[in-house]
Amino acid sequence: MTPKINFTPGPSQLYFTVEDHVRQAFKDGIPSISHRSKTFEHISKEATDGLRQLLDIPSTHFIYFTGSANEIWERILQNLVAERSFHFVNGSFSKRFFEIGQLLNKKPVKLEVEFGIGFTDIPSIDEGVELTGVTHNETSSGVVTPPEFIYALKDKYPNTLMAVDAVSSLPYPSFDFTKIDTAFFSVQKGFGLPAGLGVWIVNEKCLAKADQLLSKGISIGSFHNLPSLHSHALKNQTPETPNVLGIYLLGKVVQDMLRRGGDIIRKETEYKAAILYKALNSHPLLSAFVQNTSWQSKTVIVAHCGEHTERLTKFLIEKGMQPGDGYGASKKTQLRFANFPTHSKEQFELLVDSLEKFS
Amino acid sequence: MTPKINFTPGPSQLYFTVEDHVRQAFKDGIPSISHRSKTFEHISKEATDGLRQLLDIPSTHFIYFTGSANEIWERILQNLVAERSFHFVNGSFSKRFFEIGQLLNKKPVKLEVEFGIGFTDIPSIDEGVELTGVTHNETSSGVVTPPEFIYALKDKYPNTLMAVDAVSSLPYPSFDFTKIDTAFFSVQKGFGLPAGLGVWIVNEKCLAKADQLLSKGISIGSFHNLPSLHSHALKNQTPETPNVLGIYLLGKVVQDMLRRGGDIIRKETEYKAAILYKALNSHPLLSAFVQNTSWQSKTVIVAHCGEHTERLTKFLIEKGMQPGDGYGASKKTQLRFANFPTHSKEQFELLVDSLEKFS
């Protein structure tokens, strides 16, 4: 029996309207439409127009669809880096971004800090670095890289492309896209959708960089290279037959979120995070794993539970709530709680009440 | 209003059980399960075990999931070719496979024949060619490359890897996998599933070749390179968060097809193809575009309709049937009819009856 409320950080609980949208999609024959039809173009445009509005994406930036965020890590390094990228590594996912550079025979460099730690001081970055990769929300540790850090980094190195992994934070953050050249997420986290779709936001500087690599004879991939994604996106199409149903559902859920209002979603996220951090820090047996408040993620909240981890997991499951395991080596001492738009205030209040009763 | 019967060759009509399986998936919470859970491993194993049985895939071959068949074109050339591949080109899709080699800075060569023509004589292939790419069913023209041609080619060049694009033919063909090193398809055609999933069948020789490229310092991609796909597949997992719902639906539809029986599906496919080709060739205004019977596709049947194309399209739509447009430049003179397992004998009989009434 699956608990009713799913706090795992991804795939997470579905956005509460998804099942209705799936039913409508089948009624309208969406899963078998051609990806070269007007109907598809309309569906694709609804999703990208909606995202543009919800996330305040300016007209300098374009939106493309891929199979996953993993794929976007690869496409970023393939399309935007001839030789050298610089990665801020503070957990498993930021490290993976760096490693993908190595696998592509680029020469990535990294600044690595301990698990649970974030970044404060802007480091010196070599002139030859073409792109910096920052993980806005490190899903493994619950550490956030404050947007102010990202903007200060871009201000110091304006000619270096800024790539932001926002996989487990969007739609919460309200980014200043004049300081971000490319950002991306996958739909099974904050958007509460079935997995199998990555969303890649890319500006004109990135398109120019890909062209530059191509003119130097460097391969930037094939069907999903930036020129191919871009020329198709201009027609609201994709190079390949994409996850049409996924794109349809994204458009519908984004419309639902717009009706609720981006600001309300942000305020509710902050309220839910605040009551959970408070409950953890005032608990005799538990604490917030990330203690520095400027690094505390609002969207993936990690509890240090020590020897009580297994018992707390069972306790919550009995109350109908599924916590996420700690990541990797922290599985036995930590629990992770996703705080996404689909998680209601009432669900968080129930979680907090339950934690208070745990002894 | 969408016609009830969809004969477009892809995405095509859904397999008739899909909607029920989607409903059950939501009931069971499948769209939000973790891709690192036992439940996912079970779902993934059900799909690959079922495919192995339905398509008679021997234990020398492994099955991996990707985002699309487009991605598999890229991964094949990235993982299995250091320099030179040889492509049999007779339409838009076989040509695209060749072009992807160029985009990856490999040195692909091609043997190209006219649109509507197939291959009969085994050509001479240079010793340096590492892989031959054959499109079993050219979706654009309705020309099939007979499996006997593929096997004879492999017999003549046993050390060259044989890659078969079976995108719009499987599960119809019963391949001899001892003569095929890698094959692939996407689920929105013969399997009648929502788009957004590619299936890649790969043997041990391919894995060894990818390792060889890697040891030479050639990049074979990152998260979806063969060693990464393989090590995850051994645990019934995937490197990235995949299209979990898509893999679940594939497993369920394959079980449905197994219950019906692969041989029955093949015989019905042949019956439906036979009556449609007969109707086309005995029609005063229409004909089969591919006249050479050994090249006539059983799964994508192309009608030459000339000046009657637009009128026939309307005529069929009025009767509740959606034909597929001719591909590219043939849009105004041809129609394509998918003959997939979801298309019933009754639906084909209705199509044939309607064609006979068209004058």
Model pLDDT for residues B241-250, shown as the tens digit of each residue: 999 999 999 9
> Same structural domain for residues A186 and A81?
yes
Q: What DSSP designation does A188 have?
A: T
Q: Answer whether A26 sits within 8 Å of B29, measured CB to CB.
A: no
> Token match 């080699």: residue?
B101
CB-neighbour burial class of residue B281 (10 A; exposed 0-12, middle 13-18, buried 19+): exposed
Decide if B10 is inside a domain: no
Cα-trace Rg, chain A: 20
- Number of domains forming the structure of chain B: 2
Residue spans of alpha helices (H) in A55-199: 69-80, 92-103, 147-156
Decide if B5 is inside a domain: no
Q: Does residue A326 surpass a pLDDT of 70?
A: yes
B242: which chain A residues are within 8 Å (Cβ-Cβ)?
68, 195-196
Distance CA B170, CA B165 (A): 10
Return the CATH number at B266. 3.90.1150.10
Q: Give the pair of three-digit tokens for residue A175.
A: 């980014």
> Same structural domain for residues A243 and A147?
yes
* Closest residue, chain B, to A214 (C-alpha): B103
Average pLDDT for residues A279-291, to the nearest whole number? 97
- pLDDT score of B12: 86
> Same structural domain for residues A168 and A234?
yes
> Same structural domain for residues A135 and A23?
yes
- pLDDT score of A10: 77
Instruction: Indicate the average pLDDT of chain B.
Output: 96
Average pLDDT for residues B198-202, to the nearest whole number? 98
> Same structural domain for residues B229 and B280?
no
Decide if A1 is inside a domain: no
Q: Does residue A101 surpass a pLDDT of 70?
A: yes
Q: What DSSP designation does B296 have?
A: B
- Give strand ranges (E) for B178-306: 182-186, 198-203, 287-288, 300-304
Nearest CA of chain B to the CA of A235: how many Å?
A: 17
What is the tally of helices (H) and strands (E) in chain B?
A: 11, 15
> Same structural domain for residues A277 and A311?
yes
What contacts A40, CB < 8 A, 6 or more positions away?
A33, A34, A236, A237, A244
pLDDT in tens, B130-173: 999 999 999 999 999 999 999 999 999 999 999 999 999 999 99
Conformation bin of residue B6: beta by default, left when phi > 0, alpha when psi is -120 to 50: beta
B26: which chain A residues are within 8 Å (Cβ-Cβ)?
19, 22
Sign of CA dihedral A27, A33, A35, A37: negative
Q: Does residue B2 surpass a pLDDT of 70?
A: no
Q: Answer whether A67 sits within 8 Å of B34, measured CB to CB.
A: no
Query: At which of B237, B259, B281 does a domain end?
Result: B259
* DSSP H or E segment with residue B143: strand B143-144
Average pLDDT for residues A133-149, to the nearest whole number? 97
Size of interface A-B (CB pairs under 8 A): 170
Decide if A155 is inside a domain: yes
Average pLDDT for residues A211-237, to the nearest whole number? 98
Distance CA B186, CA B170 (A): 9
What are the C-alpha distances in Å from A126 to residues A113, A159, B112? 19, 12, 49
> Same structural domain for residues A105 and A243?
yes
What are the C-alpha distances in Å from A324 to residues A150, B34, B162, B231, B235? 28, 10, 44, 24, 21
Closest CA to A238 of A47, A49, A48, A41: A41
Decide if B172 is inside a domain: yes
Task: Give the neighbor-by-neighbor strand order of the sheet with B287-288.
Answer: B287-288, B300-304, B334-338, B324-325
Distance of CA A287 to the CA centre of its chain: 25
Q: Give the pair of three-digit tokens for residue A78.
A: 């393939």
Query: At which of B209, B244, B259 does a domain end?
Result: B259
Decide if A10 is inside a domain: no
pTM of the model: 0.97
Q: Which amino acid is at B84?
A: R
Count the alpha carbons within 13 Å of A326 in the hemisphere toward its beta carbon: 23
> Same structural domain for residues B235 and B333?
no
- With pLDDT > 90 as the criterion, what percentage of chain A qualifies? 97
Q: Answer whether A196 sits within 8 Å of B245, measured CB to CB.
A: yes
> Token match 């991804």: residue?
A10
Q: Does residue A2 surpass a pLDDT of 70?
A: no
Q: Does residue A1 surpass a pLDDT of 70?
A: no
Q: Does residue B1 surpass a pLDDT of 60?
A: no
A193: which chain B residues are within 8 Å (Cβ-Cβ)?
31
Average pLDDT for residues B335-351, to the nearest whole number? 97
Average pLDDT for residues B124-135, to the nearest whole number? 96
A66: which chain B residues are within 8 Å (Cβ-Cβ)?
67
Nearest CB neighbour to B32, from listed A6, A34, A69 = A6
- pLDDT score of B289: 97
> Token match 């890698």: residue?
B182
> Same structural domain for residues A78 and A227?
yes
Domain coverage including residue A85 = 18-259
Q: Give the pair of three-digit tokens for residue A112.
A: 């690595």
What contacts A97, CB < 8 A, 6 or more positions away?
A73, A87, A89, A133, A135, A165
Decide if A11 is inside a domain: no
Closest CA to B21 of B273, B254, B274: B254
* Closest residue, chain B, to A7 (C-alpha): B32
Does residue B9 have a cis bond before it (omega within 30 degrees)? Answer: no
Q: Answer whether B244 sits within 8 Å of A6, measured CB to CB.
A: no
Backbone φ, ψ for residue A286 (5° rounding):
-120, 165
- pLDDT score of B133: 98
Cα-trace Rg, chain B: 20
Distance of CA A164 to the CA centre of its chain: 9
Decide if A2 is inside a domain: no
Return the CATH number at A112. 3.40.640.10
> Same structural domain for residues B265 and B254?
no
Query: At which of B259, B282, B300 does a domain end?
Result: B259
pLDDT classification of B10: cutoffs 50, 70, 90: confident
Average pLDDT for residues B208-232, to the nearest whole number? 98
Closest CA to B188 of B4, B5, B9: B9
pLDDT in tens, A195-223: 999 999 999 999 999 999 999 999 999 99
- pLDDT score of A12: 86
Nearest CB neighbour to A242, from listed B32, B196, B225 = B196
* Closest residue, chain A, to B8 (C-alpha): A34
pLDDT classification of A11: cutoffs 50, 70, 90: confident
ipTM of this model?
0.96
Compute how many other C-beta atoms are within 10 angstroms of the C-beta atom of residue A353: 12
Sign of CA dihedral A24, A30, A31, A32: positive
Q: Are A254 and A51 in contact (CB under 8 A)?
A: yes
B103: which chain A residues are within 8 Å (Cβ-Cβ)?
219, 221-222, 225
Q: What DSSP designation does A211 have?
A: H
A224: which chain B residues are within 8 Å (Cβ-Cβ)?
70-71, 74
> Same structural domain for residues B218 and B105?
yes
pLDDT classification of B191: cutoffs 50, 70, 90: very high
pLDDT in tens, A39-66: 999 999 999 999 999 999 999 999 999 9
> Same structural domain for residues A247 and A267?
no
Q: Does residue A274 surpass a pLDDT of 70?
A: yes
Average pLDDT for residues B7-32, to the nearest whole number? 94
- pLDDT score of A147: 97
